[in-house]
Amino acid sequence: MSESTMLNEQVEVENNAVNGANNTNLIVKPIGIFESVFTRKNATPRQGALCTKSKGRLVLTPENCFGKFAQGHGLDGLQDFSHLWLIYHFHDNGDDYKQIRTKVRAPRLNGGKVGVFASRTPHRPNPIGLTLAKLEAVDMKEGVLHLSGMDLIDGTPVLDIKPFIPQYDTAGYFNSAHGGGVDVTPPNVSYPSWIEQPPVSPIEDITFTEQAIKQLEECCNDAKHPLKFYKDWHDVRDAILEVLRLDPRSTYRRKKCQDKIYYFHIDELNVSVDIKDDVETNKTKAIVTKVEIWQVVLDCLKNDSKE
């Protein structure tokens, strides 16, 4: 075979590979479905690390993940890690975002725009998310991972999980004793200055009414409607505080709905909060006024509609 013939064949193979890659549609099956304390997008943290008390569990799907009796083998060794990455699908983006924009409004830019790939918006050409979570426990028999520090909503399809390894996953981290003995200079980590700005001013003044505390205790002891993730009312209270400190309201609600009660769900609870700006101190105050089991609220509404 002549040199020119070999060169032509090599070019043809490379062109076919490129064309094949450009025309490939990936078929991805979720390895499991995430069960979360956040049943709706409303009040779900922007990043899981901002709400360490939030909880959830990843339940592996046997038919997509080795089968019922083998899925535990795929988790073997994961229990030795403290954190892991979750790669998942933003399944609840809604029909309003079918046309992806090239630029989005970043919360930290106060209305300013950046390119979609310079942001963490869920509305992307491929709506895939990445979250670092704390691993609390591994149930290899049932194929369940118990996690905390979550920003996924209930029902999120998880595509993959990977253990967090600081030597590889932290920019600038290098330990020659564990890095193969190769002496390299850690890279300088840089990012735009607007990243340092908080998305919104945090709410520092948060209180519970006596009635709300009493209701919270009663809800945590309700045997008929048990919570899925929390047993102690103190833990639920701390999670509610973390959510509210981030001021989970949308820009519209902050500007136009100050006279209305803000509601959000956490676990099986519906939480009512009165959030207002204090003109004198120029700070925002939040008062938790009511905590109810959401199913009880729904049952009451159904009974009222029948009367």
Binned at pLDDT 50, 70 and 90, residue 197 comes out as confident
- Res 174 pLDDT > 70: no
- The H or E element containing residue 87 is strand 83-89
Of the candidates 137, 166, 195, which is a domain's last residue? 166
Nearest to 43 by CA among 33, 54, 59: 54
Tell me the CATH number at 283. 3.30.2310
Stretch 216-221: mean pLDDT:
95
Do residues 158 and 236 both lie within one domain? no
Residue 295 in domain: yes
Mean of the per-residue pLDDT values of the chain? 85
Do residues 156 and 269 both lie within one domain? no
Q: What is the pLDDT of residue 11?
A: 47
- Res 162 pLDDT > 50: yes
Alpha carbon distance 278, 298 (integer Å): 34
Do residues 135 and 242 both lie within one domain? no
- Res 6 pLDDT > 70: no
Q: What is the pLDDT of residue 46?
A: 83
- Whether the pTM exceeds 0.85: the reply is no
Q: Which of 204-213, 243-252, 257-266, 297-306 has the highest mean pLDDT?
A: 204-213
Q: What is the pLDDT of residue 280?
A: 79
Q: What is the pLDDT of residue 163?
A: 97
Residue 240 in domain: yes
Alpha carbon distance 134, 48 (integer Å): 9
Q: What is the pLDDT of residue 99?
A: 79
Do residues 36 and 162 both lie within one domain? yes
Q: Say which DSSP state 138 is in.
A: E
Of the ranges 188-192, 212-216, 282-286, which one carries the lowest mean pLDDT score? 188-192
| Angle at 85 (CA atoms; ends 83, 89), nearest 5 degrees | 145
Residue 181 in domain: no
Stretch 64-74: mean pLDDT:
78
What does the pLDDT look like over 35-57, one tens digit per residue? Answer: 999 999 989 988 888 899 999 99
Please state, for a pLDDT cut of 90, what percent of the chain lies above it: 52
Structural domain boundaries enclosing 135? 32-91+127-166
Do residues 155 and 251 both lie within one domain? no
Please state, for a pLDDT cut of 70, what percent of the chain lies above it: 84
Give the pair of three-digit tokens for residue 199.
């998305």
Nearest to 265 by CA among 286, 292, 241: 292
Give the residue, 73 or 218, on which the prediction is more confident.
218
Do residues 148 and 271 both lie within one domain? no
Stretch 176-184: mean pLDDT:
50
Q: What is the pLDDT of residue 7?
A: 45
Bridge partner list, 89: 128
Of the candidates 166, 188, 217, which is a domain's last residue? 166
Alpha carbon distance 304, 235 (integer Å): 33
Do residues 302 and 230 both lie within one domain? yes
- What would you report as the CA-atom Rg of the chain, rounded to the nearest whole angstrom? 24
Stretch 6-20: mean pLDDT:
51
Q: What is the pLDDT of residue 73?
A: 86
Q: What is the pLDDT of residue 277?
A: 85
CA atoms in the 13 A half-sphere facing the CB of 11: 6
Are the C-beta atoms of 153 and 146 separated by less than 8 Å? no
The b/e string for 80-98 (b: 16+ C-beta within 10 A; e otherwise) is: eeeebbbebbbeebeeeee
- Res 98 pLDDT > 80: no
Binned at pLDDT 50, 70 and 90, residue 79 comes out as very high
Do residues 74 and 148 both lie within one domain? yes
Tell me the CATH number at 58. 2.40.30.70
- Res 254 pLDDT > 60: yes
Residue 152 in domain: yes
Q: What is the DSSP string of 143-175?
A: TEEEEES--PPTTEEEEEEEE--HHHHSTT---
Stretch 107-131: mean pLDDT:
89
Of the ranges 129-133, 136-140, 192-196, 267-271, which one carries the lowest mean pLDDT score? 192-196
Residue 96 in domain: no
Do residues 216 and 272 both lie within one domain? yes
Q: In Å, how far are 54, 223, 298, 303, 306 from 123, measured between CA atoms?
A: 23, 40, 32, 39, 41
Residue 39 in domain: yes
Do residues 55 and 142 both lie within one domain? yes
- Res 181 pLDDT > 50: no
Of the candidates 116, 147, 166, which is a domain's last residue? 166
Residue 115 in domain: no
Do residues 39 and 161 both lie within one domain? yes
Do residues 153 and 263 both lie within one domain? no
Nearest to 293 by CA among 217, 235, 240: 217
Q: What is the pLDDT of residue 270?
A: 96
Q: How many domains does the chain have?
A: 2
Residue 26 in domain: no
Give the residue, 68 or 55, on which the prediction is more confident.
55
